[in-house]
Chains A and B, each alone.
Chain A
Amino acid sequence: MPLLEIKSLGINFGGLRAVNNFDLEIETGEIVGVIGPNGAGKTTIFNMLSGYYAPTDGTITFKGKLMNGLRPFQVAQQGIARTFQNIRLFPQISVLDNVRIGFHPRAGYNLVDSILHTPRFIAREAELTDQALDILATLGLEDKAYIKANGLPYGAQRRLEIARALAVKPDLLLLDEPAAGMNPAEVGRMVDLLRFVKEKFDLTVLLIEHQMGLVMPICDRLVVVDFGEVIASGLPQEIRDNPKVLEAYLGRSAVA
């Protein structure tokens, strides 16, 4: 059974068919890339996967469970975490707290423990702090734990978003353009980081990316989307040489 199974997924915004008949199966442990030109519907697919948009038709099955109709926080609790193309941190609170919020559904104490700071609260809170600092250390952010998130440089903010997603303890991590706005050297470091994180946390990854420098070395498989439909899928090398893909990116006349 695949970890994630998407069948003939589609969504309409008024008269616009943003995604049409999208199929995808992801096995546990894979890294799959979704590529395609701007406006192809990639982020819309992510938004349906993470519960923001209710699909007009089709099904999303995760770990054998139908995900259609779940709210984003329920999707997260089922084990799907994501990052955003335009970084969305909690800017005014500490880096540590950004990560600790990811533990919220599994904090292990209730509101009464919170209000009275019971022994259970104190024990669990120490444990959560340890876990959060471990995750931060993995992403090279431990020494920044006590500063506000908006005080981090851009690259570190990207890493913090990944750290926060890891706190959700996901089985599947959705990364929306993790290397957006990065130069080739930074992209290289992001490739290493994602590989490391994937192994350490035993993840399956689905990512959207434009930077071929990230997609080509890291992805086991690629899916190319244009106008809301899959136009090609296969190994990265196959995709690179596929004329339909070149056409979608560069236009018909350029290829011909």
Chain B
Amino acid sequence: MDKKKQVIMALASVLVLYAVLEALMMVGIVGPYWQEIMRYAMVVTIGALGLSIMYGFTGQFSLGHAAFVGIGAYAAGLFNLTFRHYGILAFLGSLVVGAVVAGVVGYLIGVPILRLKSDYLGIATLGFGFIVTNGLQNSDKLIPALGGARGMTGVPQVQGFGWYYVLVLIAVILARNFIFSTHGRACTAIRENETAADVVGVSPARTKIMAFTIGCALAGLGGALYAHNIPFLHPDSFNFLESINYLIVVVLGGLGSLTGTVITAVGWAFIWEVLRLVLGPLYDFRGVIYAIILIVIIIMRPQGVFGGIEASCLVPQIKRRKTHAAAGD
């Protein structure tokens, strides 16, 4: 099957999937509870794509990813709260605001801390995560609308699944475009061997900051959606444990695989509910079962479920200018 057909097939199945989900919601098989989880899955997917670019592709470890999701959520929430009478325009504006604010904060934080490597970078991002949650807990002293430790309420909710679905599609396509470009290759080169990347003209500092900023902006976009899916924003929703969850999604999906990140993110959002159905009266042991699943997967596939694998419809065809026969001259 050639590339064009593959892409058309992929787009067609994406459309069919959407139609099926909408139909199921319309006839009531998928109720409001599951719809919220579906939207949450989309939020996690976008946030995880950000961490996938930062960690999976560029190798820059972050233990504070949820903090950037939180920054996006609060920034978008505050924006939409302020301009709520503009309706859907305020919603769209708040998406931009969430992504941009998180991206700018990521850039400002990235410049000093991306000099650090692996574990040290992890500790620095962990510290930043604590700064954000603590800051948000006291945010009402500066901006009362943010609610501080009591949480933020009153952000207009957007419950159309289509918005979330389309934004995930856009995020996946943009992330894929980025990865399959010279900038994405520079990121991968930094992950693979920073010294060698440096010596062929790739600036490690610039590349890491670029990846970090893009990753944080995606986290912010995810957060902006989060703020419209759940009517109550609380600092604890973006704490260290939540950052670990993003890390689990990216590592379990497979470092350096967008396909793995997307599938694992959706799966992760549903796993608690699936466990509830499967375990029945044993549901109290869900935490144990969940951890066992993680351990078994990582022992069986240490490179992640989709490590080194990319769905072929995401991989662009390698195009050449001249014909193969003329390549020798």
Binding site for B on A (CB under 8 A): 50, 52, 71-73, 75-77, 81-82, 84, 88-93, 96-97, 100-105, 107, 109, 111, 113-117, 121-122, 125-130, 133-134, 137, 142, 164-165, 167-168
Cβ of B243 < 8 Å from any Cβ of A?
no
**Among candidates A91, A97, A101, A111, residue contacting B202 with C-beta atoms closer than 8 Å:** A101
Bound CA span A109–B198, Å: 20
**Among candidates A84, A114, A117, A122, residue contacting B196 with C-beta atoms closer than 8 Å:** A84
For B182, B202, B204, B328, the residue with the greatest tally of chain A CB atoms inside 10 Å of its CB is: B182
Minimum CB–CB distance for A53 against chain B, Å = 13
Contact A114 B182, beta carbon cutoff 8 Å = yes
Contact B185 A104, beta carbon cutoff 8 Å = yes
A interface majority secondary structure: helix
Q: Which residue of A has the minimal Cβ distance to B199?
A: A72
Cβ of B189 < 8 Å from any Cβ of A?
yes
Contacts of B185 in A (CB 8 A): 93, 97, 100-101, 104
Which residues of B, 193-235, contact A by the 8 Å Cβ criterion?
Answer: 193, 195-204, 210
Cβ of B318 < 8 Å from any Cβ of A?
yes
Contact B199 A81, beta carbon cutoff 8 Å = yes
Contacts of A91 in B (CB 8 A): 192-193
Minimum CB–CB distance for A167 against chain B, Å = 7
Mark B45-62 against chain A: 1 for CB-CB distance below 8 A, else 0: 000000000000000000
**Among candidates B181, B184, B196, B321, residue contacting A90 with C-beta atoms closer than 8 Å:** B196
Contacts of B124 in A (CB 8 A): none
29 contacts between A and B (CB under 8 A): A72-B198, A73-B203, A75-B199, A76-B201, A81-B200, A88-B193, A89-B193, A90-B192, A92-B192, A92-B308, A96-B318, A101-B186, A102-B201, A104-B186, A104-B200, A109-B181, A114-B177, A114-B178, A114-B182, A115-B178, A121-B181, A125-B181, A125-B182, A125-B319, A126-B319, A126-B321, A137-B327, A142-B327, A168-B201
Bound CA span A255–B201, Å: 45
Contacts of A82 in B (CB 8 A): 199
Cβ of B147 < 8 Å from any Cβ of A?
no
Minimum CB–CB distance for A101 against chain B, Å = 5
Bound CA span A125–B204, Å: 22
Minimum CB–CB distance for B36 against chain A, Å = 31
Contact B182 A109, beta carbon cutoff 8 Å = yes
What are the 8 A-B residue pairs with the smallest beta carbon separation, nearest first? A114-B181, A90-B192, A76-B201, A107-B182, A88-B196, A72-B198, A105-B201, A126-B321
Minimum CB–CB distance for A184 against chain B, Å = 29
For A97, A121, A126, the residue with the greatest tally of chain B CB atoms inside 10 Å of its CB is: A97
Minimum CB–CB distance for A122 against chain B, Å = 7
Contact B321 A130, beta carbon cutoff 8 Å = yes
Bound CA span A104–B188, Å: 12
Contact B195 A88, beta carbon cutoff 8 Å = yes
Contacts of A104 in B (CB 8 A): 182, 185-186, 189, 200-202
Contact A90 B193, beta carbon cutoff 8 Å = yes
Bound CA span A133–B308, Å: 23
Q: Which residue of A has the minimal Cβ distance to B200?
A: A102
Binding site for A on B (CB under 8 A): 174, 177-178, 181-186, 188-189, 192-193, 195-204, 210, 256, 308, 316, 318-322, 327-328
Bound CA span A168–B198, Å: 11
Contacts of A107 in B (CB 8 A): 182
Contact B178 A90, beta carbon cutoff 8 Å = no
Bound CA span A125–B183, Å: 12
Contacts of B203 in A (CB 8 A): 71, 73
Contacts of B316 in A (CB 8 A): 117
Contact B188 A93, beta carbon cutoff 8 Å = yes
Bound CA span A134–B184, Å: 22
Bound CA span A105–B197, Å: 11
Besides A82-B199, A90-B197, A133-B320, 11 other A-B contacts (C-beta < 8 A): A73-B203, A76-B198, A88-B196, A89-B192, A92-B256, A102-B201, A125-B182, A126-B320, A127-B321, A129-B321, A130-B320
Contacts of B319 in A (CB 8 A): 122, 125-126, 129
Contact B200 A117, beta carbon cutoff 8 Å = no
Contacts of B192 in A (CB 8 A): 89-93
Contact B177 A115, beta carbon cutoff 8 Å = yes
**Among candidates A50, A93, A117, residue contacting B199 with C-beta atoms closer than 8 Å:** A50
Contacts of A72 in B (CB 8 A): 195, 198-199
Q: Which residue of A has the minimal Cβ distance to B179?
A: A114
Contacts of B182 in A (CB 8 A): 100-101, 103-104, 107, 109, 114, 125, 128
Minimum CB–CB distance for B65 against chain A, Å = 20
Contacts of B210 in A (CB 8 A): 111
Q: Which residue of B has the minimal Cβ distance to A145?
A: B318
Bound CA span A72–B206, Å: 13
Contacts of A109 in B (CB 8 A): 181-182
For B177, B184, B189, B196, the residue with the greatest tally of chain A CB atoms inside 10 Å of its CB is: B196
Minimum CB–CB distance for B203 against chain A, Å = 5
Bound CA span A86–B171, Å: 39
